[in-house]
Amino acid sequence: MKCNQIKEKFSDFLIGEIDEIKRKGIQEHVTVCNSCREELETLSAIWAKLGVLPEEQPSNNMRTRFYATLEKYKKSLEQEKERFHLGKLLVGWVERWMPRRPVFQFSFALLLLVVGLAAGYFFHSSWQRGGEIAELRQEVLQIRQIAALSLLRQESLNERLKAVGLNSRGEQPDEGTLASILRTIGSDTDIYTRMATLDDPYLFPGFSIVKEELAQSLSEQTSPLVEVALALVHHIEHLK
Amino acid sequence: MNNATDNHLMEQVRDGKVERLAIIFERYHVMLYNFFLRLTYNRSLSEDLVQDVFIRVLKYRSSYQGQDKFTIWLYKIARNTHIDYLRKRKDIVLLDEQLDKIASQEPLPPEKAEQAQEILRLSQALAKLPLKKREALILSRFQDLKYKEIAELFGCRIGTVKVLVHRAIKELGKAYLELSGGVAS
């Protein structure tokens, strides 16, 4: 055998995982090859020397810690089992009350549905009777008007345009909102905002002050586009 | 004495009889402790790592299938525990420093001075090996694992393990010679 093939078997030789034929082959080779003999001797010496490293014993603390951890884990498992047991009891209780035959199960489910619907209807009507919905609607309206007012005062053209129509859902605006709208039509720096504000549908539910203010505004407008739009608004109102 | 096989005990632990882990602990905690001790040279750290291994055994008990030999499965967990520790710890004390500390702290009784010096030099030489070579050598020399089992543990071929062990011993010899004041060939 060549030196390389012999050296490949050195680790097997050291650990003892080698058959007799291979062992003899190595031993015969090293008697005639100085290089392989020296390497095997060095390896064997250091392998044997490692035997002086003693097996150490851990402290008793390690055992104590392990048993404490195990105990804690066992307890958590038992608690989990108890919870599972309670769950099973509940399921068992429900099962006891549940009819066996499918037709009765269906009837029972139907009954539960009817009871649920009736209860829902009852609570819904009592809630409506309380006038809470109307109250909520009023609050939403107020919030919308505050938002519109705030947007009309913004520097940004986009923000002011957003305000148009925000609080118009057919409800009557309060005086502050109305004044703010009319002020926008009369004096906003941007003509498109003025025109868009004119389209606000809640300008026309018959407020005399609106008509007067719009007439006043017509004489003060500088933009022909806004003047035409205002004139059209007046004309439509007269037709009504 | 309990004669149940490791595999059977671990299957019982998996199926809920967690108290059976105590028998496994008694069988293997010293072996694991020495494995970690030869990797880290730190006693309290090695105890922590053994503790961590058994916590992981409990945590992953349901995944135990029993296809591997039990010790291979246990060593897989032990290696992962050690690797995770190395990743997490930024302020890791170098092994050499740890050994120097031991050498300076422990006064040596005169009658055992020579042997103690030998142990220290060997440990220092061992600490100089790269982790994988050190693991291969420790597992084959001290933990009595066959090359086939180490290959299974490392996820490589048996030939690779043999080469690793061969090179590890050569490098160890060189480092030992240097530490003894000789000249490495």
Taking CB atoms and an 8 Å limit, are A74 and B18 in contact across chains?
yes
Domain that holds residue B160: 107-179
Report if residue B168 sits inside a domain.
yes
- Surface of A (52-81) touching B: CB under 8 A: 52-59, 61-63, 65-67, 69-70, 73-74, 77
Q: Is residue B185 part of a domain?
A: no
Residues B65, B16 within the same domain: yes
Contacts of A63 (CB under 8 A, 6+ apart): B25, B29
| Residue A209 contacts B where some CB pair is shorter than 8 Å | no
Same domain, B14 and B68: yes
Distance between CA B56 and CA A97 in Å, rounded? 44
The stretch B90-116 carries a mean pLDDT of: 65
Chain segment A4-28, per-residue pLDDT in tens:
888 888 888 888 888 888 888 888 8
* Domain-ending residue, one of B61, B88, B115: B88
Measured between beta carbons, the chain B residues lying within 8 angstroms of A54 are 119
Show the tokens assigned to A185: 């039509």
Asked if this assembly's ipTM is beyond 0.95, the reply is: no
Interacting residues of B66 by C-beta distance below 8 A, sequence separation 6+: B7, B10, B11
B49/B111 same-domain check: no
- Average pLDDT, rounded, for chain B: 86
Specify if B96 maps to a domain: no
Task: Please give the tally of structural domains in chain B.
Answer: 2
Same domain, B31 and B84: yes
Single-letter amino acid code for the residue at B110: P
Answer yes or no: is B21 within a domain. yes
Phi, psi of A138 (to 5 degrees): -60, -40
Residues B124 and B70 in one domain: no
Per-residue confidence (pLDDT) for residue B185, from 0 to 100: 45
Residue B117 domain-assigned?
Answer: yes
Chain B CB contacts of A66 below 8 Å: 25, 29, 51, 54
* Contacts of range A92-99, beta carbons closer than 8 Å, 24 or more positions apart: none
Angle between helices B6-14 and B43-59 (to 10 degrees): 60
In this structure, chain A runs to a length of 240
Cβ neighbours, 10 Å, residue B54: 25
Q: How far apart are CA A43 and CA A127, in angstroms?
A: 92
Q: How many CA atoms lie within 13 A of B21 on its CB side?
A: 27
**B83 and B10, same structural domain?**
yes
What is the tens place of the pLDDT at every residue in B138-183? Answer: 999 999 899 999 999 999 999 999 999 999 999 999 999 888 876 5
Contact A161, A190 (CB under 8 A): no
| Residue B35 located in a structural domain | yes
Question: Among candidates A237, A169, A165, which has minimal Cα distance to A207?
Answer: A237
Phi (first) and psi of residue A207, to 5 degrees: -85, 125
Q: For position B147, what pLDDT does the model report?
A: 92
Look at A12 and B166 and tell me if their CB atoms are within 8 Å: no
Please indicate, yes or no, whether residues B173 and B115 belong to a single structural domain of this protein.
yes
CATH number at residue B133: 1.10.10.10
Q: How far apart are the C-alpha atoms of A229 and A238, rounded to whole Å?
A: 14
Q: Is residue B128 part of a domain?
A: yes
Q: Considering B88, B122, B138, which residue would you say is the last residue of a domain? A: B88
What confidence tier does A49 reach under pLDDT thresholds 50, 70, 90? confident
A59 torsion bin: left (phi>0), alpha (psi -120 to 50), beta (else): beta
Asked if the structure places residue B184 within a domain, the reply is no
Token pair recorded at residue A133: 């919905």
